[in-house]
């Protein structure tokens, strides 16, 4: 957790820089750049994302425990320690504070998920 919190200002800075350098792009920030327990960093990232309509959270399921189980299966044993942190932060609801829309992949092909995102 200490390392994660230490990296947070760098993650916020990377969001700012990537959006400035690639304004008309599809960008996958991932969990490290999407979760901010620090309210000031959360506000900073929310501010830089404000002009963007398509800030999308992609999850396997709307049911937290099911989504958590599916995501955990995708991690190898080395990553499980990091996943525990990820799960703890996900439970806090911080993801939803940044995402403007959520897409669930459950029972969808990648093509169907892509079509849903494009329709948004």
Number of domains in the chain: 1
Q: Write the pLDDT tens digit of every residue in 52-78.
A: 999 998 888 888 888 877 877 776 665
What is the per-residue pLDDT for 12? 95
pLDDT at 94 over 80: no
In three state form, how does the secondary structure of the chain look?
A: CHHHHHHHHHHHHHHHHHHHHCCCCCCCCCHHHCCCCCHHHHHHHHHHHCCCCCCEEEECCCCHHHHHHHHHHHCCHHHHHHHHHHHHHHHCCHHHHHCCEEEECCCCCHHHHHHHHHHC
Q: Write the pLDDT tens digit of every residue in 10-36.
A: 999 999 999 999 988 999 988 778 888
Domain span at 27: 2-119
């Amino acid at each position: 957790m200490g390392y994660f919190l230490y990296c947070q200002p760098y993650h916020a800075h990377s969001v700012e820089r990537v959006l400035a350098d690639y304004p008309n792009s599809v960008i996958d920030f991932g969990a490290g750049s999407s979760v901010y327990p620090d309210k000031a960093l959360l506000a900073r990232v929310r501010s830089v994302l404000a002009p963007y309509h398509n800030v999308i959270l992609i999850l396997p399921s709307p049911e937290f425990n099911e989504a958590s189980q599916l995501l955990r299966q995708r991690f190898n044993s080395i990553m499980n320690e990091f996943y525990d942190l990820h799960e703890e932060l996900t439970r806090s609801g911080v993801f939803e504070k940044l995402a403007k829309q959520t897409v669930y992949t459950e029972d969808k092909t990648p093509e169907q998920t892509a079509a849903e995102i494009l329709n948004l």
